[in-house]
Structure formats: structure tokens, C-alpha cells
Structure 1
């Protein structure tokens, strides 16, 4: 029998593969009272499908991932659109030609768009770092940095940008296009019945047993031939080398007594407010309800036993500590460390699935 620690996406993908391909029993445990990990969702009193741990819009370019998940759900096509509240206006994010035309005088905007096309071409994502290195676009880069990136980043991470890994700022692009979609991936959709139902379908095999509100420390691991651990790697080793820091989130849910609150599912607030974004969940499945549900999102420090660890904090110091834990992990016999918390790495949903499928093929499935 196999033991999977964590009923999130990575753990459940591996469990499904073990049951189906190896015809072996799998025991999944999770501390929480539900499956799905951070992609858990539910229908609230307003009839709105709410994402418990913040907005999740599925997107991928990996056909293997899309085909795999499509076994467990029908999809509703969905293109994620994000607005940012900048200088008193709601404008498209990431910064694109529509954003430029809304925020700048017409002649200046036209000249800027022309220069961007000449320099980078059409439909290209250019990072702030690239723009800062180009004398022509330093003013634009500084504007985007201050209006889109700086305040949001300081709230999200409680750190100055220079204290974070360069990968954080390199993810902030300007898109040389009028395409307002947040993602341009080939496959973009939301599970028609929600992510929780997708997970339930994935692990419905009679060979899979799930124990919720169950802690790893309460389990006798000697009865299992292999363990797939998706929790925090530092916790597994009882924080013997020190604690890896995480950021958490707090959500304030509100019912709004009208059919729609905002134009898009997500609106970002870089400055002026202590929350980072407002999500209106009904946009994801285009639900027709008399009232709507919104969530104000507040970044918080992770506190053990108080809230959930969401984001590994990307810095050289934290990565160095993780590397030390990874060395310990390599000495653990019959234990596979998988996923965002175990690898101290931010993953999109499709990346999690791809990694879990790869791990099963390379480390578990013996042909």
C-alpha cells in the first residue's frame, strides 16, 4: 500500500495513477476537512461557486495535462481577465496597448505603441527588466513598476522588491498587443462542476482510501511500501535546520445585493488599499444569480496552526535553506517529496499536474 500525504492536486494525481496503473491500494491523508487542497471550491448561499483559497483559472499549453484532466471533468471555456485600479481608472492587466491608450494622452500613447512594435514586434511579452535596460522605454518601465508592481509586491511579500529573487520582477510583462486576456495558453477553462468535483472524480477508485482531519504524525508509516509527501519539507524534518518562511492569505467574503459587482473576475489594487485584489467568483462559470459574492484578499505572514502556507518566499537565503533540506530528503528511503510545499516552489496548476505525472512515470511506475 502507498501513503500520500496531502489531498491536493499533486497528491491526488499520483494516487489516481498508482490505483489505475499499478492496481495498488493508496491511502491519502490530509489535515483539512476536505479534498482538493488550495483548489477546493464550494457553492455558497448565493448560488455562487466560491474558490475557498483564492481565484484559480486553469490554463495550459500542455496537451498531455489537458487530456489527463479531461478524464475527470467537462470544461467551461474561460479566459481570465484582470483589471488594475491605476490613477482612478480600471485598466487591463498585464499592461498592454489598451492600458496605454487609457492612461496616456492620445499622441503620446500612439507614439509609444509605435515604438514598442518597432522594437519588439507584435504579440510579445516584454518584462520590466528588459524595458529598464532600453533607454527608449525607461520612463514607461518606471511607470509600470511604480503603478503595477511596487505596491502590490510590497503588500504581497512584505518585502522591498530588491529583497526578493529577480524572478519576481521578471514575471511582470508589458504585452505588445490589444489582447486583454491574462493568459494566452492554448487551453483555458474552468471545470464545469468545480475543482473539488474534479478531484473527487479523480480519486473515486475503490483502491483509494481518504482520511481527512488526519495528521502525518498520527500515522504508522511502517505499513506502507512508499510515501508521497506533499507537505512542507521543513516540517517533515521537524524544522531541524530552521523554518522556511511562507506568505499566507486572508479572505473577507461579502455578499453584494446586485447581480454584478465588477467587470472582471479579478481586480488588482497596487496602492491606496491594504488588500491586493478583489475577486468576484461568479465570472468564472458565468453564473446567473440575483446576488453576487466577492472576496477581498489580504496578504499575511504564515503562522503555524493559524493559517495556510501559500507562497514560498523567493530569496537567495530561503533557497539556500531549502537546498539543505533537499539534501536530507535524498537520504529518505521510499519517500518522494512532491509539490509546492515539498519543493518550496511556486507552481501553476498545470505545472503541478505535469510534475506529478512525470514523477509517477520516473519514480513509481516500474514497467
Structure 2
């Protein structure tokens, strides 16, 4: 018997496994249903020699020095500042929407007085959620808020979530605020980088310990069950710690119904040209069925004369057909999740961790931080 079992070999599971193996010197079993480690951070080198992210672009950024220091033990970094453009009204403009975007999309006769009003009302460098800007009484600022809402947020959100911005948790739209500066970077964190050899290599090194055993191509349902309020491993009662990073509704056999998730259809194309677009990612809020195109050579430069792009088409998550990428943050879904959370609380040896288990969106740095904190509080 292993004293620790972890379901999921993504960042959350890998960090927990490494801490248990190294700090406690305990053996840990990691169960992964996919045929690879890394979860949605998984990347690989394609036939052109470019590192591609199989589940969409992952850009590491953080203000947590301890998180950056921890991951630096397992990778060298390539310093990288991420730039995103939006294709809006036939023009390419910086995103998040900032003062440069304002002048790029609107005539100077409109942009100049709007900038003046914005900076009179708010501080330079301030990050304003779109839903907050929509509450403005000033006629000009109200015009600007509606313009940004319709051109940047509304249709993109409908494509991504199949919901309008005001139908989902406000924290979703707050993640991409209106930025009152001329900083065109997508993130403003102190540490911004990508692993020199990719995320898969980094996570391989995190998991590279004699105390860690990994089972790929194995669903937790094959060897783990919850029956009569007991956790069973290979049909025997399991009294060790179970750290679960998968779908919480699946763990409890959908007792309160299925929690919905959004998924993505990833379409890669290799093109016989050196470059395809001027930035790593271009968002298409209002045009086409895909939400964005990423060109990976911007993120991981190589000398190849070809390039690889990825188009992302949002879709509903269907069990067994696609990956659950994003929990859908509505009040109704949170009510259902709370029922599962209460059920999980009856098991003292069960720890829920990660986007699927906690039905909560995490950035990469946030989940590493959460894993390190969880280890200290609930295991060490």
C-alpha cells in the first residue's frame, strides 16, 4: 500500500508528489488517465522542430517569488514577454485594451478627449474591469465602455463560454481589464518566462524521484472507488491520503448531476512560410468561429523556415470525446459544486486540489502556490 495516492499528473499533482517524495521521503503513486504527464501544460516538439503546446498556449507569469524559485530547481527559463493583438474592425490592436488600443481603433478626435476623461477619473496604470466601466454615468465614458464591451468582450465571451459576460462570475472578465497605460504586454507580472525545454521536460524533472511511481493510461475509476463513505483502492479500504485533481463530480459518480465544463477543439497547421502573424497570439472577438490563433515560434524561437499555428474552437465538454478545460463559473454551478465539496469533507483522508477538483480556474503559478501551501498545511 502507498501512503499517498495522487490522481492526475498535471502541475498540481506533480508538485504534491515531489514534496511528499523529497520532504517526507514517502512513496507516492500518481495515477494519470492520459498517455502523458503534464496535464494541459503538456508540450512536445513537432515535425518542424518547434515546441507546441498541445492544449493551447501556456505562458508562465507570476509575482510569487517563492513559486518562481521553486520551479527554477527543475528548469532553465527563457525570458519571454507575451503580446496579444485583437482583430477588431479589420485592425490589429493591443490587448488587454489600453491607451494605445484606444488610439489605434478610434479617430484621434474621439480618442484624445476620451483618454483625458479616463485619466481624470482614474489613475494612470489602473486596471478597470469592464463591468465596472459600464456603470459610468458620464456620457463619453459610457460610450467608450459600450464600445469596448461590444468589440472586445461580448462576442468573445459568447464564443468561449456560450454565455454573456454578465451571466458568468465577474472574476472572469476582471482577468482581462481595461489597462490605463501604454504597456502593450498581456501580463505585467515581475516574472515572465517559459521553460527553456518546455513544460513537459520541467514536469518530468519534478516527478523524477525514486519514491514516485506513475501509472499512465489509467483512469482512477479502474482502481479507486468511494463506497459506503469509504475510499477503496483495489477493492480494499484505503486509509492513506488521496490527493484528487480530477473532476469532483466524476469522483462521486455524479451523485448530484454533472458539473458542466467548456472544452476546446485544437486545430494545428504547419505552414510553409517563416512567419504567419506579427504576435504570438491574435484574438478574434467578432470574426470567425475560433477565438484565437497562436504561432508558437514566437514563444519558442527556432531557425526553421516553416511555422506552426493553432486555432482554438470553443465547444461543450463531452465525456470521453474532449478534455474538460474550464469550469463554467455561474451561481447555479457553484451551488452544485458546494454539494460535492460538502460530500468530500466527510473523508478526512481526501484532499481536493486543482481546476477540476475545486471547480475553480487557476493560473499555473496559482496552482503551484496552492499545491505548496496545501502540502504545508494538510500533509507536512
- Indicate the TM-score class for this superposition, using the shorter chain for normalisation: over 0.9
Q: Tell me, yes or no, if structure 1 residue 209 matches structure 2 residue 213.
A: yes
What is the CA–CA distance in structure 2 between the aligned matches of 1:17 and 1:257, rounded to whole Å?
Answer: 45
Alignment RMSD: 1.1
Structural mapping, 1:146-157, within 5 Å:
146-157=150-161
Which residues of 2 match residues 1-367 of structure 1 at below 5 A? 1=2, 2-136=4-138, 137-219=141-223, 221=233, 222=237, 225-365=240-380
Q: Which runs of 5+ in 1 are unaligned?
A: none
Distance 2:76 2:174 in 1: 34
1:234/1:243 contact within 8 Å kept: yes
Deviation at 1:320, TM superposition (A): 0.4
Cα separation, 2, equivalents of 1:285 and 1:183: 18
How far does residue 162 in structure 1 lie from its aligned partner after superposition?
3.2
Q: Is the 8 A contact 2:50 2:301 kept in 1?
A: no
Cα deviation code 1:107-136 (max 9, x no counterpart): 321222222222212111111122222223
| CA–CA separation in structure 1 for the residues paired with 2:261 and 2:286 | 22
Q: Determine helix, strand or coil for the equivalent of 1:314.
A: coil
Deviation per CA, 1:236-284, whole angstroms, max 9, x where unpaired? 0000111000000011111111111011111100112110000111111
- Give me the whole-angstrom Cα distance separating, in 1, the residues matched to 2:145 and 2:262: 27
Of the structure 1 ranges 30-39 and 218-227, higher mean CA displacement relative to structure 2 is found in 218-227
How far 1:224 moved relative to its partner? 6.2
CA contact (8 A) 1:149 1:172 kept: no
* Displacement after TM superposition at 1:223 (Å): 5.7
**Number of aligned positions between the proteins:** 365
Distance across 2 between alignment mates of 1:169 and 1:357: 27
Give unpaired runs (5+ residues) of structure 2: 225-232
Matches of 1:285 and 1:110 in 2, distance apart? 38
SS at match of 2:6: strand
Give me the whole-angstrom Cα distance separating, in 2, the residues matched to 1:172 and 1:143: 16
Whole-Å separation in 2 of the counterparts to 1:43 and 1:254: 14
Asked if structure 2 preserves the Cα contact closer than 8 Å seen for 1:83 and 1:92, the reply is: yes
1:328 deviates by: 0.2
User: Cα distance, 1:186 vs. partner?
Assistant: 0.4
Could you tell me the TM-score, scaled by structure 1's length? 0.97
Distance (Å, rounded) in 2 between the aligned partners of 1:100 and 1:334: 53
